[in-house]
């Protein structure tokens, strides 16, 4: 399997048909994600301007598991937001399979976020009034897949929550809520999984269980990009990229 490298390499293949034909992840090229001299400055042109990213260049190959590590304020979350098309860079180029993400329309960006990328967050981001099943099905409100109910049941079985299908989030433990979030992230068959501190609110035993789930997902071919500040979590990845003060330090 190709490894992520610095000037590194990227992600994986895409399985659901999308109107976003200009960013198809179905081709056979090894490179998926490429960043060229990406910068991000907040409050640009103001006295309190802050440069969060200062010229990031990297590549990630399809099917790799990459951890991005750094202390608080290092720029790792800003980098993740750009990779997930949740934010735009101040300057630089972001390519997925050779196509520029920042040239997409708003509707195409929404489609990219819904179908190409699955997001997992530290705070789970589950809707409290919805059941486990309804939370997992949420992405299908913005895009279609075949047999969504069967897919939802399959994913909940995969993460060990088939008996919690009608529970609400307040009836779950932290580890169970993160499992729901993982199932939701996989619902649209994304090629890229982006996880921002997914074990940050979990105890050690539960963190190990969640990371074992990530390992299983990776073995199935998904590209995983994981943000963490913990060495033992980053150790699950094939490649670790260290970032500090908005710059990549080493691989």
Write the CB contacts of 213 (distance below 8 Å, at least 6 apart in sequence).
159, 179, 182
How confident is residue 251, by pLDDT bands cut at 50, 70 and 90?
low
Q: Are 198 and 27 in contact (CB under 8 A)?
A: no
Q: What is the mean pLDDT of the chain?
A: 86
Rounded to an integer, the average pLDDT of 68-96 is 93
Contact indicator for 53, 246 with CB cutoff of 8 Å: yes
Q: Give the pLDDT mean for 161-169.
A: 96
Higher-confidence residue of 53 and 12: namely 53
> Stretch 244-250: mean pLDDT, rounded?
90
CATH superfamily entry for domain 63-86+104-248: P-loop containing nucleotide triphosphate hydrolases (3.40.50.300)
Dist. CA 214–CA 152, nearest whole Å: 18
Report the DSSP beta bridge partners of residue 193: 118, 224
What integer pLDDT is reported at residue 44 of this predicted model? 87
Alpha-carbon Rg for the chain, nearest whole angstrom, is 18
Distances (CA, A) of 8 to 3, 36, 40, 186: 8, 11, 20, 25
Query: Where residue 18 falls among pLDDT bands split at 50, 70, 90?
Result: very low
* pLDDT confidence of residue 30: 63
Please list, in sequence order, all residues whose beta carbon lies within 8 angstroms of the beta carbon of residue 34, skipping any fewer than 6 positions away: 10, 58, 59, 93, 94, 95, 96, 98
Q: So what's the pLDDT on residue 54?
A: 95
pLDDT: which is higher, 237 or 17: 237
- pLDDT bin (cut points 50, 70, 90) of residue 31 is low
């Amino acid at each position: 399997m190709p490894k992520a490298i610095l000037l590194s390499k990227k992600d994986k293949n895409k399985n659901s048909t999308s109107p976003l034909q200009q960013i198809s992840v179905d081709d056979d090229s090894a490179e998926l994600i490429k960043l060229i001299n990406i910068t991000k400055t907040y409050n640009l042109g103001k006295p309190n301007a802050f440069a969060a990213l200062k010229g990031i260049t990297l590549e990630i190959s399809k099917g790799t598991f990459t951890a991005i590590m750094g202390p608080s304020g290092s720029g790792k979350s800003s980098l993740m937001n750009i990779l997930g098309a949740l934010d735009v860079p101040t300057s630089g180029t972001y390519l997925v399979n050779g196509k520029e993400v920042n040239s997409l329309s708003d509707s195409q960006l929404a489609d990219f976020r819904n179908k190409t990328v699955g997001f997992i967050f530290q705070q789970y981001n589950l809707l409290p009034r919805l059941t486990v099943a309804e939370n997992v099905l949420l992405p299908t409100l913005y895009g279609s897949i075949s047999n969504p109910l069967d897919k939802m049941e399959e994913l909940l079985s995969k993460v060990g929550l088939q008996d919690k299908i009608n529970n609400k989030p307040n009836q779950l433990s932290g580890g169970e809520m993160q499992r729901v979030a993982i199932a939701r992230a996989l619902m649209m068959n994304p090629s890229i999984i982006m996880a921002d501190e997914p074990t940050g609110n979990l105890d050690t035993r539960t963190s190990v269980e969640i990371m074992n789930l990530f390992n299983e997902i990776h073995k199935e071919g998904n590209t995983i990009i994981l943000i963490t500040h913990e060495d033992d979590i980053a150790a699950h990845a094939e490649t670790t990229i260290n970032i500090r003060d908005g710059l990549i330090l080493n691989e």
